[in-house]
Amino acid sequence: MTTEATLSTTTSTAPGVRRLWTRARGITLAVVLILAAAVAMAAVRSTVRHGELDPRSPDPYGSRAVAQLLADRGVSTRVVTTLGAARAATGPDTTLLVAEPDLLTDRQQTRLQKATAASGARTVLVAPGSPSVERLAPGVTADPANSIHSTLAPDCTLPEARRAGSADTGGIRYTTTHLDADSCYPSERLATLLRIPAASGGGDTVVLGAPDILHNDRLDKQGNASLALQLLGSRPHLVWYFPSLSDTSATTSDHKSFFDLLPSGWLWGTLQLFIAAALAAFWRARRFGPLVPERLPVAIRASETDEGRARLYRKANARDRAATALRAATRTRLAPLVGVPVAQAHTPETLLPALSAHTDTVGGQALHPLLFGPPPGDDAALIALTDQLDALEREVRRS
């Protein structure tokens, strides 16, 4: 009987490092390009706008020009960063501008809406998304698709809008259930500026779809300045509310998980990368179905394999392992000869009585130390065990 094996690492069929790199370099390059594109898109989308909507900032995206024009008309501007200060500063003679409504927690939005409804102040919400606008302005819903145009015509009866004319209000679009609301600057039939009239004892609410009319670099375009001054200068006091992370009211409730803090774009991007990796793994898979046998490069005799294993046992001085292997192999060969199933060949209670019927021993007492005894103490005892096992097998075969 012969067996096949490899003699050295030079004939191994296992793929080497160079072959693995050749196979994987295409996938690696694709992954690197995808990650680079994702980082570039994130960098473009997360471009820092210094002082955005800050009435103290002269930067292009700041709003210092609006504050100065309002001051020239006798309107004072006060900047607050906490919900408590914003609620305390609102009153019938006040306009409250919320610069980043989406940064407020659910609880903060609910408390702010109740405070403004009871104070009689005008509330101006700058580009609130969904569901922020639904809490801050009940009855108003943000449309998922933004306006495709930035400059729009008023197309409504609101006096402020008609006097200002076209303005850069294109951004988030809104729908409302308020029948008496002023829907201005429509884009594809949806308004980008809404004015919800005051309820009993409260103030009106203005929902602005884009912050462009408040930016320094856009104030002199179209009717932006006129519209901004009319919306923010209807009351003698303007409270400019910037939500801040230092506001303790944001940490008392509405604990959000890590995934809630991630932008939705990153979650979708991660899902797309996972799908792409799964498809690449499926494409690069090599074996489908049963394995295909292949011829090994070198064939050697079984006796040489046994001799090599014996040398390993001798080098490790593993007489116990050698004796265990010899006894197990002998029991496996003897069991079919005496009518014992191979599965029970290693059970003394089953094998020994069957062997006693084919040998000169009585009750298998002499066979137990031979087939199930302790390991030999030296090489001479191991050789004697081998001879005894051979003699037992020859005797059983003759019988």
pLDDT band for 144, please (50, 70, 90 cuts).
confident
**Which residue is listed with tokens 């390009």?**
33
Three-state SS sequence of 203-231: CCEEEECCCHHHCHHHCCCCCHHHHHHHH
Cis? peptide before 131, omega within 30° of 0: yes
| pLDDT (0 to 100) of residue 362 | 47
Give the model confidence (pLDDT) of 359-373 as tens digits: 765 455 678 888 888
- Ranges 15-29, 248-262, 285-299: which has the least confidence: 248-262
1 has pLDDT over 70: no
pLDDT band for 286, please (50, 70, 90 cuts).
low
96 touches 262 (CB < 8 A)? no
Q: Which is higher by pLDDT, 259 or 343?
A: 343
Q: Break the chain into its structural domains and give their ranges.
A: 18-47, 64-249, 302-398
Q: Which is higher by pLDDT, 161 or 8?
A: 161
Query: Which pTM does this prediction carry?
Result: 0.56
Q: Tokens standing for 123?
A: 């509330």
CA nearest neighbour of 183 among 205, 153, 150, 157: 157
Q: Which is higher by pLDDT, 310 or 208?
A: 208
Give the model confidence (pLDDT) of 302-356 as tens digits: 888 888 888 888 888 888 988 998 999 999 998 888 888 988 888 888 888 888 8
9 has pLDDT over 50: no
Percent of residues, the chain, with pLDDT higher than 70: 86
pLDDT band for 156, please (50, 70, 90 cuts).
very high
238 touches 77 (CB < 8 A)? yes
pLDDT band for 13, please (50, 70, 90 cuts).
low
